[in-house]
Amino acid sequence: MNLEKVVFGFFILLAATLNFGFVYGDIGNPEHHHFWELFAAIVVNLIATVLKFGDRTHVGAVHLASSLVALLQLIAAALVWFFAAQSIAGQVSAYTMASIVSLSAGALLANIVSVIIMVVETTMQRR
């Protein structure tokens, strides 16, 4: 068993599941989406992105591209949340939360692509 591949797969799957956990719920209800879960998704996606830098294959490039897209979407969602929380009311409206969750759903799609690539790459390898 290759420990490097285990760690790589772990962080890819953890990034996707944390992202799914944040997106799951009523899209406009801020009570269904916690800021710390979004923060955890960003941190784990960042770690997964760093792990993908060493691969010089075409599949590795697609892995890295999907990870960068997910990271960009999650950071954009965090920035929207941050600036919305700085408003006069200090509350995030349903409209703004829908934007935050939509950006995170885009990141989830990129993470799903990364997981699919990982599964296909794993099944194509021969012993």
pLDDT in tens, 80-93: 988 888 876 777 88
d(CA 25, CA 101): 9
Average of pLDDT values for 7-36? 88
- Count, residues in the chain: 127
Give the range of the structural domain holding residue 76, as residue numbers without chain letter: 3-124
How many whole angstroms separate alpha carbon 46 and alpha carbon 43?
5
**Residue bearing tokens 């998704």:** 41
pLDDT tens digits, one per residue of 44-72: 999 999 988 877 788 888 889 999 999 99
User: How many domains, the chain?
Assistant: 1
- What is d(CA 107, CA 43) in angstroms, rounded to the nearest whole number? 13
> Does the pLDDT value for residue 20 go beyond 80?
yes
Rounded to whole angstroms, the Cα distance separating 30 from 90 reads 13
Can you tell me the mean pLDDT for 117-123?
Answer: 88
